[in-house]
């Protein structure tokens, strides 16, 4: 993509208003004779009827329709004849305009068709796809040199002189050699490279429990800066016109910007230039875009010399191109955006809403007994340099634990698991349970049948009434201990079909269900029970059992200093675990 930054010229004009920005004239212009109308022999050099530079009378100068590859692009234009030197201004009323002495620019307006055919309806001569420039006033240039200007009317009038094309020609001969003249083109350019940034957010980063699946909504925001300008410069061609039939020796061709920048003219040193136009390319390097109007002046200088049989006094000539227009080349003005989960999100360009946001949703399953993390990354890639950037967002979904109630361990299914571990000898589960103080009233030599009976009796005795909640707390903790033991293949074997060993599951103590229904559904508020476990926000089930044990005497008759409210917090925690309603902590 390209953008244009134009510093509008401020040209002093006698009666015309200041020129506005216009459409630059592309391709070439030239003058020639028209032998079909005036007869031959009026061109003193060049290719008669195609491109001439020197004429024996100003009435024999015609605007040429060049071949289509070189001629003007299709559109509407006007022409004017000017005096060379200084700032050119083809608008009517300017001091150097020689055509407006006789008619307005509207009488000098013509159209170029797509086939390079000229259409003209004014009263200047028009024949053979050529327009006669006369009438126009005599030049004040001592060498009889004139400048033809052609300007586009695609925009407003008055036009910006910097958008016009210029071509020099000469009328008549003189005993003294004629001085060279100079015209020029000037095109400003720069590169604007854009930098991009990306961010990614989610409507939530953690989901605990709450069904079989969780949905996260993501927002990817992509933005760009105002761009970094570089490579600012001006290029063009300086055309030196030698109006004599013999070569002229020039000393140098120079080019300078109005801010003092000296431009590099290719092959602009001492040399002989033939009759007609000789072109010199030039370049100017700038450190940044100009702040305001920037003009460009070219000059050609020569020393005293003989030109053929005539003498040419040493002097110089210059031409100023006002108000250079700068066209910007955008680099990385677009970025494609993709996501590791959602795929391609789209293309964002300068001019779009900044920042531009993309949204999408992702649904993931809720696991049991664990938390799972889901990472995904959004990335942008710029269209020109391939620069990339990325932003990631991690979300965590945690399920509930998998536990069985104290009622399960009292019924025939739970009893069968306990008593079926061993028929004789000390029951392995007894030894494991006795590591906790509340269960050390279980015999050290208890068989598995005796363990079953012990469990039934503890559950039957569960009661929350009275001054303490020890009996109920003991029963709930015992059920949790059995869930841990019989969910672990390394302990009693996974007899309850748990997805993971329950002892290693971390429980969120800041969101514990306070009331459970007969169907194991949470019907009460979520409360913070961390005060019963040292004030920490989460612990594994093994750590909960160990901490509660540390607060009990042997057999569980004295617990938590007999503070019933603290006992209830611990009871609620184990009750939630046993009903598979405890939230797993990330």
Please tell me the distance from the alpha carbon of residue 143 to that of residue 404, in angstroms, as a whole number. 113
Would 127 be classed as within a structural domain?
yes
Please tell me the distance from the alpha carbon of residue 132 to that of residue 81, in angstroms, as a whole number. 11
Please tell me the distance from the alpha carbon of residue 196 to that of residue 321, in angstroms, as a whole number. 38
pLDDT score recorded for residue 16: 32
Comparing 164-168, 309-313, 321-325, 388-392, the range with the smallest average pLDDT is: 309-313
Please tell me the distance from the alpha carbon of residue 252 to that of residue 268, in angstroms, as a whole number. 5
**Do both 379 and 507 map to the same domain?**
no
Contact 24, 155 (CB under 8 A): no
354-363 average pLDDT score? 96
Please tell me the distance from the alpha carbon of residue 586 to that of residue 583, in angstroms, as a whole number. 10
Q: Per this entry, what is the length of the chain?
A: 586
- Over the chain, what is the mean pLDDT? 90
**Do both 142 and 213 map to the same domain?**
no
Would 476 be classed as within a structural domain?
yes
- Decide if pLDDT at 190 tops 60: yes
Three-state SS letters, 5-62? EECCCCCCCCCCCCCCCCCCCCCCCCEECCHHHHCCCCECCEECCCEECEECCHHHCE
Please tell me the distance from the alpha carbon of residue 278 to that of residue 275, in angstroms, as a whole number. 8
* 73 pLDDT tier (thresholds 50, 70, 90): confident
**Do both 555 and 484 map to the same domain?**
yes
**Do both 159 and 78 map to the same domain?**
yes
**Do both 386 and 417 map to the same domain?**
no
| Cβ atoms within 10 Å, residue 391 | 16
Would 102 be classed as within a structural domain?
yes
Q: Of 534, 531, 537, 536, whose CA–CA distance to 568 is shortest?
A: 531
pLDDT score recorded for residue 67: 52
* 4 pLDDT tier (thresholds 50, 70, 90): very low
Please tell me the distance from the alpha carbon of residue 364 to that of residue 371, in angstroms, as a whole number. 12
pLDDT score recorded for residue 174: 57
pLDDT score recorded for residue 281: 97
Q: pLDDT for 97-146, tens place per residue?
A: 999 999 999 999 999 998 889 999 999 999 999 999 999 999 998 888 99
Q: pLDDT for 464-484, tens place per residue?
A: 888 889 999 999 999 999 999
Share of the chain above pLDDT 70, in %: 94
Q: pLDDT for 426-441, tens place per residue?
A: 999 999 999 999 999 9
pLDDT score recorded for residue 465: 85
Would 218 be classed as within a structural domain?
yes
Would 561 be classed as within a structural domain?
yes
Please tell me the distance from the alpha carbon of residue 572 to that of residue 280, in angstroms, as a whole number. 93
Would 4 be classed as within a structural domain?
yes
pLDDT score recorded for residue 464: 87
Q: pLDDT for 489-535, tens place per residue?
A: 999 999 999 999 999 999 999 999 887 776 767 777 899 999 999 99
**Do both 392 and 453 map to the same domain?**
no
Q: Of 59, 64, 14, 63, whose CA–CA distance to 38 is shortest?
A: 59
Give CA 7 to chain center in angstroms: 27
Contact 203, 216 (CB under 8 A): yes
pLDDT score recorded for residue 115: 85
- Residue with tokens 């008593």, as numbered in its chain: 419
Comparing 16-25, 88-97, 322-331, 526-535, the range with the smallest average pLDDT is: 16-25
**Do both 168 and 200 map to the same domain?**
no
More confident: 257 or 16: 257
* 79 pLDDT tier (thresholds 50, 70, 90): very high
- Decide if pLDDT at 172 tops 60: yes
Give CA 584 to chain center in angstroms: 41
* 22 pLDDT tier (thresholds 50, 70, 90): low
* 370 pLDDT tier (thresholds 50, 70, 90): confident
Would 347 be classed as within a structural domain?
yes
Domain termination residue (choose one: 345, 373, 398): 398
Domain that holds residue 78: 1-173
| Cβ atoms within 10 Å, residue 410 | 20
300-326 average pLDDT score? 93
- Decide if pLDDT at 452 tops 80: yes
Would 313 be classed as within a structural domain?
no
Give me the CATH number covering residue 387.
2.60.40.3880
**Do both 121 and 18 map to the same domain?**
yes
**Do both 375 and 500 map to the same domain?**
no
**Do both 346 and 464 map to the same domain?**
no
- Decide if pLDDT at 361 tops 70: yes
Q: pLDDT for 153-163, tens place per residue?
A: 999 999 999 99
Domain count of the chain? 3
Please tell me the distance from the alpha carbon of residue 183 to that of residue 298, in angstroms, as a whole number. 7
* 6 pLDDT tier (thresholds 50, 70, 90): very low
**Do both 206 and 74 map to the same domain?**
no
pLDDT score recorded for residue 12: 28
**Do both 98 and 160 map to the same domain?**
yes
H or E segment at 307?
A: strand 305-307
Structure tokens at 33: 């004779």
DSSP class per residue in 498-528: -SS-GGG-EEETTSEES-B-TTS-B-S-EE-
């Amino acid at each position: 993509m390209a953008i244009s930054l134009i510093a509008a010229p401020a040209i002093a004009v006698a009666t015309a208003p200041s020129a506005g920005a216009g459409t630059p004239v592309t391709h070439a212009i030239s003058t020639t004779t028209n032998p079909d109308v005036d007869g031959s022999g009026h061109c003193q050099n060049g290719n008669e009827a195609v491109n001439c530079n020197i004429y024996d009378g100003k009435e024999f100068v015609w605007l040429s329709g060049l071949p289509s590859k070189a001629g003007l692009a299709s559109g509407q234009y006007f022409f004017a004849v000017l005096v060379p030197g200084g700032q050119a201004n083809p608008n009517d009323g300017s001091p150097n305009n020689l055509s407006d002495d006789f008619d307005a620019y509207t009488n000098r307006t013509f159209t170029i068709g797509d086939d390079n055919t000229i259409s003209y309806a004014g009263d200047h001569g028009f024949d053979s796809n050529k327009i006669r420039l006369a009438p126009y006033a005599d030049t004040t240039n001592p060498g009889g040199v004139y400048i033809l200007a052609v300007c586009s009317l695609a925009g407003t009038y008055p036009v910006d002189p910097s958008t016009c094309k210029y071509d020099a020609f000469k009328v008549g001969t003189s005993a003294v050699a004629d001085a060279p003249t100079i015209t020029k083109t000037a095109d400003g350019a720069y590169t604007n490279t854009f930098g991009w940034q990306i961010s990614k957010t989610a409507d939530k980063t953690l989901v605990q429990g709450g069904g079989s699946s969780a949905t996260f909504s993501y927002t990817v925001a992509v933005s760009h800066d105002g761009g970094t300008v570089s490579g600012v410069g001006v290029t063009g061609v300086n055309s030196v016109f030698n109006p004599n039939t013999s070569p002229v020796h020039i000393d140098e061709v120079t080019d300078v910007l109005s801010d003092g920048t000296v431009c590099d003219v290719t092959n602009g040193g001492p040399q002989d230039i033939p009759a007609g136009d000789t072109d010199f390319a030039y370049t100017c390097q700038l450190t940044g875009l100009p702040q305001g109007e920037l003009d460009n002046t070219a000059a050609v200088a020569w020393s005293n010399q003989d030109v053929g049989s005539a003498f040419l006094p040493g002097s110089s000539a210059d031409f100023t191109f006002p108000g250079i227009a700068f066209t910007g080349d955008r680099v990385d003005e677009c970025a494609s955006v993709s996501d590791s989960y959602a795929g391609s999100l789209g293309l964002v360009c300068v001019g779009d809403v900044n920042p531009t946001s993309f949204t999408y949703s992702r649904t993931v399953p809720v696991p049991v007994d664990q938390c799972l993390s889901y990472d995904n990354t959004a990335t942008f890639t710029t269209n020109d340099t391939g620069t990339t950037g990325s932003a990631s967002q991690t979300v965590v979904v945690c399920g509930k634990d998998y536990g069985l109630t104290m009622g399960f361990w009292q019924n025939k299914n739970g009893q069968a698991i306990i008593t079926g571990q061993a028929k004789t000898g000390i029951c392995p589960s007894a030894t494991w349970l006795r590591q906790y103080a509340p269960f050390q009233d279980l015999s050290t030599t208890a068989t598995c049948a005796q363990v079953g009976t012990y469990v039934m009796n503890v559950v039957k005795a569960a009661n929350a009434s009275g001054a303490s909640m020890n009996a109920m707390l003991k029963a709930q903790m015992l059920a949790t201990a059995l869930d841990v033991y019989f969910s672990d293949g390394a302990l009693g074997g996974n007899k309850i079909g748990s997805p993971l060993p329950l002892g290693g599951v971390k429980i969120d103590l800041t969101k514990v269900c306070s009331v459970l229904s007969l169907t194991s559904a949470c019907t009460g508020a979520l409360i913070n029970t961390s005060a019963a476990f040292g004030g920490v926000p989460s612990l594994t089930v093994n750590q909960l059992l160990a901490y509660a044990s540390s607060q009990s005497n042997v057999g569980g008759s004295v617990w938590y200093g007999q503070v019933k409210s603290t006992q209830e917090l611990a009871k609620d925690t184990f009750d939630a675990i046993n009903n598979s309603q405890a939230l797993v902590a990330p």
